Amino acid sequence: MKPVYILNDNMITSLGFTTAENILAIKKGTIGIRTVNDPLLYPNPVPVSIVNDDLLNERLGEALADHHKTSPSDAFTRLEKFFIISIHDVLKNSPVEKGDPRTLLVISTTKGNIDLLEDRFKSKFSHKRLYLWELGRVIQQFFGFVNMPVIVSNACISGVLAIIISARFLQSGAFDHAVVAGGDIATEFVISGFQSFQALSPDPCKPFDLNRTGLSLGEGCGSIVLSIHPDTSRTPLVRVSGASVSNDANHISGPSRTGEELSWAINQAMEQARVSPREISYISAHGTATLFNDEMESKALENCELSNVPVNSFKGYWGHTLGAAGIIESVATISTLRSNYLYRSAGFDTLGVPSPLRVITTNRPGEVNACLKTASGFGGCNAAIIYQKD
Amino acid sequence: MGATLPLFIRKINMDRIITAYSHITENKVIVNDRLIFYQENIVNFADFVKIVYKQEMINYPRFYKMDAISKLGFLAVELVLKEKTIAGYRPEAVGVIMSNSSSSLDTDIAHNETIKDRSSYFPSPSVFVYTLPNIIIGEVCIKNKIKGENAFLISEAFNGKLLCDYADELFDNKRVEACLCGWVEVMGNNCNALVALVETADRSADSSGSGFKPMLFNAENMNFIMKRN
């Protein structure tokens, strides 16, 4: 099977607008989740990781100027601004031509421009903008991609699944390059929904910890350029070497009791990558910090004989960013791989899951050659992907 | 290698067939080319799906808890699997790829209604959980013990080519042995669902006695079924 390489990446969270800014913040131990008292987001104060609006508009201005666009910044929704800044950054230093018919654009989002349901936006944007394909079209046209974007909306695995679908389309020979971008914003729509589930933690989330009390929401966007042509000027080369998706067939809003379906996806991904559990040197888990998700993941990793591998969840830094999560956490995973440097799992202190896990408690150097990224979500879906140095 | 690869893929594609399908529109249900339900002047989606559910004698109490789009997707899949069972496959060998235009917008609007007014602020988990389109896939997987590949894709209009290209990739690389592929769209009282069961020729021999002649699985045939009915 053709190798698919990672050429370039970007991520936007409350911690920064580029991969480098985010990684620097993580190294310093900065937590982006803060208690926000904003009645436009929720009637009561709620911990959430929010991207600063002034900085967002400043970065958008730079992207618009670079593209010689005269459109005013308020021509775009908040989420469209995220996508424009992220994709602009990732294309800046990449050999990929947007206008090339061999380039595919794949967009991942769970809720798209859902804020446009709020009365305050009704006069500003047309109803059509609520449709995810219209969001895709705005982004496609802004950059001049020739192919209609593929849009993936598959709950919390959307981001990982978008990368998997892109890699598969590249491997099948249909395209040479893919720009995969995923984003979601924090809205009252989503916060009120998770709050109704009593799934939100009153404090910044603590994945895998004994005292975890639920998840924290966040907003963000990430982009990755994939290609069948390696960029030999940037070493080490990193590629997608295996991937799989499964369904629990158990419950629409709760994970599998045994974790066996996530295990199956992980085993399939490892088999495809031709790596054994012993060759996996790092795991970037989904780690939402809900009671049942983290329990399920620990069981799944034990089933796969991966309990002894260093593992973290990046959600302790910027919360659960939904359709962005799989992309930005993959970007942080790829950074771990490139730099041979493992990051602490923020919020973690004492192990509180039924199966053993080796959660990373301090930032430290560590040889990383093959790593596993997982995701699980509502609807019972699971995804696993292996990133590997060439 | 460049010259042989497309031929190789085409050869495999010849063996992939639609062994059963259902197509549900506002007041009409077609299964394997047969009109099984038609009623003029149906204006209400909720009534329509309930009548079809009862006519087909499906007994699954969870159905009543589902939102409109999951009811539609569930029903479309049940009608297909009544024609052609997937019981012979391992749970992990069956995939589900669904698509639509409006994601879960119909239910998103319902959730939004519960938070619009601060004096009656009652977001409900039983509504919110359905504000994701892939919940349809989740419901179908729970009912039929399907544990394989899933994906929910969004496009403005039905895109048979996208579905086939992706499903073909899954078959080519032996990620699935059978796959439910389709489109499930609801907005208010407008609905449109097309679900096809795709199998390989060697595994589809135990066909039902309904007289349906399986069709090749390709974009042309998927688009043809969607347009004809």
Instruction: Indicate whether A151 and A112 sit together in one domain.
Output: yes
> Which of A176, A207, A227 is where one domain is finished?
A227
Between A68 and A112, whose confidence is greater?
A: A112
Q: What is the pLDDT of residues A131-152, one digit of tens each?
A: 999 999 999 999 999 999 999 9
Whether A242 is covered by a domain: the verdict is: yes
**Does residue A71 carry a pLDDT above 50?**
yes
- Region A320-349 average pLDDT: 98
pLDDT at residue A38, rounded to an integer: 96
Specify the CATH number for the domain of residue B41: 3.40.47.10
Whether A86 is covered by a domain: the verdict is: yes
Whether A232 is covered by a domain: the verdict is: no
pLDDT at residue B1, rounded to an integer: 34
Instruction: Indicate whether A196 and A242 sit together in one domain.
Output: no
Q: Measure CB to CB from residue A247 to each of B102, B146, B168 and give the nearest one.
A: B146
Residue B14's pLDDT band (cuts 50, 70, 90): low
> Which of A185, A206, A227 is where one domain is finished?
A227
CA distance B20 to B212: 8
Rounded alpha-carbon distances, angstroms, from residue B70 to A147, A322, B103, B131: 30, 21, 11, 11
Closest CA to A221 of A334, A109, A375, A97: A109
Burial A295-312 (b: 16+ CB within 10 A, else e): bbbbbbbbbbebbebbbb
Contacts of A286 (CB under 8 A, 6+ apart): A156, A293, A297, A313, A325, A374, A375, A376
Whether B2 is covered by a domain: the verdict is: no
Whether B9 is covered by a domain: the verdict is: no
Whether B5 is covered by a domain: the verdict is: no
CA distance A204 to A346: 9
Instruction: Indicate whether A141 and A285 sit together in one domain.
Output: no
Q: Do A63 and A88 contact (CB within 8 A), yes or no?
A: yes
Q: What is the pLDDT of residues A87-106, one digit of tens each?
A: 999 999 888 988 899 999 99
β pairing state of B150-154 and A150-152: antiparallel
Whether B150 is covered by a domain: the verdict is: yes
Chain A contact set for B123 (CB, 8 A):
192-193, 195-196
Instruction: Indicate whether A259 and A201 sit together in one domain.
Output: no
Determine which of A154-158, A314-318, B44-48 has the lowest per-residue pLDDT on average.
B44-48
Residue of chain A whose Cα is closest to the Cα of B172 = A172
Contact (CB<8Å) B129/A153: no
Closest CA to A321 of A205, A210, A182, A193: A182
Q: What is the pLDDT of residues A20-57, one digit of tens each?
A: 999 999 999 999 999 999 999 999 999 999 999 999 99
Instruction: Indicate whether A210 and A180 sit together in one domain.
Output: yes
Chain B contact set for A382 (CB, 8 A):
none
Whether B210 is covered by a domain: the verdict is: yes
**Does residue B3 carry a pLDDT above 70?**
no
Q: Measure CB to CB from residue A117 to each of B101, B112, B175 and give the nearest one.
A: B112
- Region A291-308 average pLDDT: 98
A338: β partners: none
Contact (CB<8Å) A261/B101: no
Q: What is the pLDDT of residues B173-183, one digit of tens each?
A: 999 999 999 99
Distance, in angstroms, between A269 CA and closest chain B CA?
A: 11
Instruction: Indicate whether A295 and A332 sit together in one domain.
Output: yes
Instruction: Indicate whether A42 and A187 sit together in one domain.
Output: yes
Q: Which one of B63, B120, B134 makes the best mutation probe of the A interface by having the most chain A beta carbons within 10 Å?
A: B134
Token pair, residue A159, equals 């981001």
- Residue A178: domain span: 4-227
**Number of CB atoms found within 10 A of residue B161's CB:** 14
Instruction: Indicate whether A252 and A200 sit together in one domain.
Output: no
Whether B69 is covered by a domain: the verdict is: yes
Q: What is the pLDDT of residues A181-237, one digit of tens each?
A: 999 999 999 999 999 999 999 999 999 999 999 999 999 999 999 999 999 998 899
Contact (CB<8Å) B154/A133: yes
Instruction: Indicate whether A210 and A247 sit together in one domain.
Output: no
Instruction: Indicate whether A217 and A243 sit together in one domain.
Output: no
pLDDT at residue B229, rounded to an integer: 72
Whether A341 is covered by a domain: the verdict is: yes
Contact (CB<8Å) A245/B96: no
Q: What is the pLDDT of residues B48-104, one digit of tens each?
A: 999 999 999 999 999 999 999 999 999 999 999 999 999 999 999 999 999 999 999
Whether B6 is covered by a domain: the verdict is: no
Contact (CB<8Å) B153/A155: no
Contact (CB<8Å) B128/A193: yes
Instruction: Indicate whether A179 and A272 sit together in one domain.
Output: no
Contact (CB<8Å) A153/B135: no
Residue of chain B whose Cα is closest to the Cα of A42 = B115
Whether A216 is covered by a domain: the verdict is: yes
Measured between CB atoms, does B113 come within 8 Å of chain A? no
**Does residue B13 carry a pLDDT above 70?**
no
**Does residue B11 carry a pLDDT above 80?**
no
Q: What is the mean pLDDT of chain B?
A: 92
Chain A contact set for B144 (CB, 8 A):
249
Chain A contact set for B175 (CB, 8 A):
244, 268
Handedness of CA B220, B225, B226, B227 (dihedral sign): positive
Q: Which one of A252, A263, A272 makes the best mutation probe of the B interface by having the most chain B beta carbons within 10 Å?
A: A252
> Which of A198, A227, A256 is where one domain is finished?
A227
Alpha helices in A6-93 (DSSP H): 19-28, 53-66, 78-92
**Does residue B130 carry a pLDDT above 70?**
yes
pLDDT at residue B209, rounded to an integer: 55
- Residue B19: domain span: 15-228
What's the structural domain count of chain A?
Answer: 2
Whether A233 is covered by a domain: the verdict is: no
Whether A300 is covered by a domain: the verdict is: yes
What's the structural domain count of chain B?
Answer: 1
Specify the CATH number for the domain of residue A196: 3.40.47.10
Residue of chain B whose Cα is closest to the Cα of A170 = B169
Instruction: Indicate whether A338 and A248 sit together in one domain.
Output: yes
